[in-house]
Chains A and B, each alone.
Chain A
Amino acid sequence: MLKIKELRASIDNKEILRGVNLELKAGEVHAIMGPNGSGKSTLASVLIGRDGYELSGSVEYEGQDLLALSPEERAAAGVFLAFQHPVEIPGVGNAYFMRTALNSLRRHRGQEELDAVDFLSLAQERMKLVEMDPTFMNRSVNEGFSGGEKKRNEIWQMAILEPKFAILDETDSGLDIDALRIVASGVNALRSEGRAMLVITHHQRLLDFIVPDYVHVMAAGQIVRSGDKNLALELEETGYAGLTPSLAQVGVAL
């Protein structure tokens, strides 16, 4: 589904991604772990089409050149990012926003648009998945939401838009254990054969709840180790300092 080859990204002449290689197949959940500043969030930003990066390398998504698409085209092709820090948008109602988004995607795919009634029943049903109160539908997007509410709202959006490839950027940050459990169970419910997920996290904790098929460790803009879920457990014990030999190989001192 997704093939990232030698992806490099710089901003203001500072190279942040220094040759990332990664391949995801449909149905797989990959976790990317790594210390702060290792380039995890930049990878997410590049994949969804944020402006301002100088890029080289390639990202092939379902046979298309992903980097050539605008953010909305990527969304239409099924790419989704659950943001680490979802932005507040005063004056734009949450339900209205999601209906506009869903119908934009449907239009793009040549599907019939959902009317208000059908949309509302879908939206309500998907809210149950993340145990959100329906009143969140009528509020402005993320405005005044707590950290946990924002994260749930991201997963609610994902549940409505049903992407093929979802990136979860630090979805666990700022969540207490109960909220984490709710968000994770929402995500798990959305795992499916046709859908790939890239779970970015700093902590191993999230991976107790969302169990990945593969774990990659990112440091200094590269993926320095890959393995199965046991790699996360190993990291839990050794910390990122245990990666020093690998880091040395890419010429970075911790």
Chain B
Amino acid sequence: MTPPVKAIGGVLADLTPGRERGNLGWLAEARFNALEWVGQHGFPSRKDEDWKYTRLDPILTVPFEASIAGSGSRTTAELINAASIDLGGVRLVFVNGHFAAQFSRLTELPAGALVTNLASVLATTPERLEPFFSHTPGGRRAFAAFNDAFAEDGAFIHLASGVTVAEPIQIVYFSDTEALPLMSSPRSVIIADSDSRATIIETYAGINNDIYFTNAVTEVVLAENAQIDHYKVQNEPVTAFHLALLEVRQGRNSRFSSHYVALGSSIARHEVRVLLAGAEAEVSLDGIYLPQGEQSHDNTIFIDHVATNCTSHQLYKGVLDGRGHGVFNGHIMVRHGADGSDAHQKNKNLILSDLAEIDTRPRLEIYTDDVKCTHGAAVGALDDEALLYLRTRGIPMAEARGLLVYAFVQEMVDRIELEPLRVQLEKLVADRFGKGDRSVKP
């Protein structure tokens, strides 16, 4: 076990990165630079525009330790399967951020498709990762830099030109930390060369009551005409913390779609940053967040329209119950010269309790005239009239509420094309809000 370190907030002064041996000078340097940057700039606080709605103190004060390979003795195949349905294709499983070969399945893939774990790439062809670890941390954020410093493993996917992987590629980040508060820093790298195509699902889950911190970064680079359909299910236990950055760079005429479902964690933040660098690229971001109890779900989005004739769509829906707190902080930037941009952003929220809270902030920043942009946010409660109507037909109160909540999120679930995942989410959502009998399809 690594020696205990201080709480993350106090760790910066005396942490020296660089467990790498041998020929990885650039990596040690990148890690050191990343930490140095965090040391100079510190972690964000509520004074930072993009972090003002989410409390970080609970994360910064727990004395987390960086996780090491081989930890997590309670993890079983059954637990993994319960946390994420097996879709039958390639499945990479990580426990506490480290590759767990015994739970993974590497089926045969088309020539030109590489799906493996990051540590093995670092061991064999580390130069492939240099561009990902060596961009200026200043251009990123403290937690992403922290991931730079600590990331040792994660998924690595490379699709060569023209390659299509038909079966969805599953990545499961499972945590099993027991009494020890661990921090895992998974890094997923997805490189889609021109005309390639794949569907990728990330699942984050763990064992109830474990206190841990997932600080994840997923990077996706799409070359010309590439298409990636990305799904992420965040179902960490409510004792865990989850901060994640999904960073996407899109080339000409590429397509990226993402469906994010936030169910778990005490404090979760999922930030998506998309750079539309090539003309005619399209991105579609969907999100559902369902905080209840004391949960907080922050959704921060930055879409950067740099090239001409790109399209971006965002649809995020939240259901807030108990003392749950949600954030939608969506920012669309249309740069000078990004003519023909088509950018749409919509956020809808359903508040079920007087104590729940939503901060919604759709933003458009436009520096060119030739654009089509819309944005909007809505916050509402359950329709009393609809509730009464259902009850007069004999449907008990709790079930009637469940039906109406389900109807609100149904649109998001229906947009998930991957059927097994849609069915799983239907169940997760129905379990949370109460359910009727869903076997007569609307």
Q: A residues near B, CB below 8 A?
A: 48-51, 70-72, 74-76, 79-81, 83, 86-87, 89-105, 108, 113, 115-116, 119-120, 138, 140-141, 157, 161
* Most chain B Cβ neighbours within 10 Å, of A48, A72, A80, A113: A72
15 inter-chain pairs at a CB distance below 8 angstroms, sorted by A residue, are A70-B391, A70-B397, A72-B392, A72-B395, A72-B396, A72-B400, A79-B392, A83-B389, A87-B383, A89-B390, A96-B442, A97-B390, A97-B403, A104-B393, A116-B440
Question: Which A residues are in CB contact (< 8 Å) with B395?
Answer: 72, 100-101, 104
A150 to B438, CA, bound (A): 23
Residues on the A chain within 8 Å of B411, using CB: 91
Complex Cα–Cα for A138 and B441 (A): 7
Within 8 A of A (CB), among B111-139: none
Task: List residues 84-127 of chain B with CB under 8 A from any CB of chain A.
Answer: none
B393: which of A51, A91, A161 is its contact (CB, 8 Å)?
A: A161
Instruction: Kindly list chain B residues whose C-beta atoms are within 8 Å of the C-beta of A100.
Output: 395, 399, 403, 436-437
Interchain nearest-CB distance for A20 vs B (Å): 20
Residues from chain B with Cβ under 8 Å of A101 in the complex: 390, 393-395
Chain B window 409-441, contacts with chain A (Cβ cutoff 8 Å), 1 for yes, 0 for no: 011000000000000000000000000111111
B440→A99 contact, CB < 8 A? yes
B57 at the interface (CB under 8 A from A): no
- In the complex, how many angstroms separate the beta carbon of B231 from the nearest chain A beta carbon? 22
Interface size class of B (residues with CB under 8 A): 20 to 34
Roughly how many angstroms separate A20 CA and B442 CA in the complex, as a whole number?
Answer: 41
Closest to A45 in B: B388
Contact, CB under 8 Å: A92 / B404? yes
Taking the complex as formed, is B381 at the interface, i.e. its CB lies under 8 A from any CB of chain A? no
Among candidates B388, B397, B406, B442, residue contacting A95 with C-beta atoms closer than 8 Å: B442
Complex contacts, A119 vs chain B, CB 8 Å = 440
Neighbouring A residues of B390 by C-beta, 8 Å = 89, 97, 101
Residues of chain B with a CB closer than 8 A to A97's CB = 390, 393, 403
Residues of chain A within 8 A (CB-CB) of B400 are: 72
Measured CB to CB, the nearest residue on chain A to B436 is A100
Inter-chain contact B389/A86, CB cutoff 8 Å? yes
Instruction: With A87-B383, A94-B442, A96-B438 as known contacts, state yes or no: A104 contacts B399, CB within 8 Å.
Output: yes
Contact among B385, B391, B396, B439 with A116 in the assembled complex (CB-CB below 8 Å): B439
Number of A-B contacts (CB under 8 A): 104
Task: Please determine whether A92 and B407 come into contact, CB atoms closer than 8 angstroms.
Answer: yes
Asked whether any CB of chain A lies closer than 8 Å to the CB of B386, the reply is yes
B408: interface (CB < 8 Å) = yes
- Are A120 and B440 in contact, CB atoms less than 8 angstroms apart? yes
User: In angstroms, how far is the closest chain B Cβ from the Cβ of A168?
Assistant: 13
Interface string of B230-242 (1 = CB under 8 A from A): 0000000000000
Chain A residues lying within 8 Å of B406, measured Cβ to Cβ, are 91-92
* Cβ–Cβ < 8 Å partners of A86 in chain B: 389
B442 touches A87 (CB 8 A): no
- Over the window 200-215 of chain B, the binary record of Cβ atoms lying under 8 Å from chain A Cβ atoms (1 yes, 0 no) is 0000000000000000
A-B contacts besides A48-B392, A80-B392, A105-B394, 20 pairs, CB < 8 Å: A49-B391, A50-B388, A71-B388, A71-B391, A74-B392, A89-B383, A89-B386, A91-B442, A92-B404, A93-B440, A96-B437, A96-B438, A97-B390, A100-B399, A101-B394, A101-B395, A103-B436, A108-B394, A113-B437, A138-B441
Interfacial chain B residues near A94, Cβ < 8 Å:
442
The complex places the Cα of A119 from the Cα of B442 at a distance, in Å, of 14
Residue of A nearest to B405 (CB): A91
Set of chain A residues within 8 Å of B391, measured between Cβ atoms = 49, 70-72, 75
Cβ contacts under 8 Å, B437 to chain A:
96, 99-100, 103, 113
Query: Which residue from A49, A76, A95, A140 sits with its C-beta under 8 Å from B440?
Result: A95
| B385 in contact with A87 (CB, 8 Å) | yes
Chain B 136-150 interface mask (CB, 8 Å, partner A; 1/0) = 000000000000000
Complex Cα gap A138–B391 (Å): 21
Name the interface residues of B365-391: CB closer than 8 Å to any CB of A: 383, 385-386, 388-391
| B residues less than 8 Å from A87 (CB atoms) | 383, 385-386, 389
> B386 contacts which chain A residues (CB < 8 A)?
87, 89
